[in-house]
Amino acid sequence: MSERTGFVTPHKRTIGDVVVDGLLSGLPAGVVMGVFLVVVGLSGGARPGQTLGRFDPAGSGSPLTGTLMHLAVSGLYGVGLALIVHILGGRWPTWRRYGWLLGAAYGLVVWLVAQFVVLPGLGIALSDLSPGQFIAAHLIYGAALGYVLGRHQPA
């Protein structure tokens, strides 16, 4: 007999549940980061398509390809944080209250990996962003990711 609370019957979360939560939490966080970068780009005279085209790994500057690539990577990084939280969540049960802060720290780690490991090898226009803009965008992404992920975790 299962114990019901509210509308949902509790069940043990599988790794698949965690991965889907991370993927679906990474997407809106990626949108928030993208909007931030577009706004910053507009203030510097860049059109939205130019800013989004910087994410195009082929280097052709396609805004559609850049946007889709950015969202795909945002989802994958969301999976990473979801797995970390899944592993550590039992040891720190109140993490949801500070999910945005945990996410911001994760965003800083993602920035370090992007800045010093991924981007130097790709040679794409994304590396043309100023370091301050890039750090701020990743902190915003991480904070949004941690917030969204925390909102979708079972209590």
- pLDDT digits over 18-56, tens only? 899 999 999 999 999 999 999 999 998 989 999 999 888
Between these two residues, 60 and 47, which has the higher pLDDT value?
47
How far, in Å, CA of 121 to CA of 104, rounded?
A: 25
Q: Are 91 and 135 in contact (CB under 8 A)?
A: no
Q: Give the pLDDT of residue 107.
A: 97
Q: pTM of the predicted model, to two decimals?
A: 0.86
Weakest-pLDDT range from 47-51, 58-62, 73-77, 104-108: 58-62
Contacts of 151 (CB under 8 A, 6+ apart): 96, 99
How far, in Å, CA of 80 to CA of 61, rounded?
A: 27
What does R_g of the chain's alpha carbons equal in angstroms?
17
DSSP H stretches of helix in 44-130: 48-53, 63-88, 99-113, 119-122
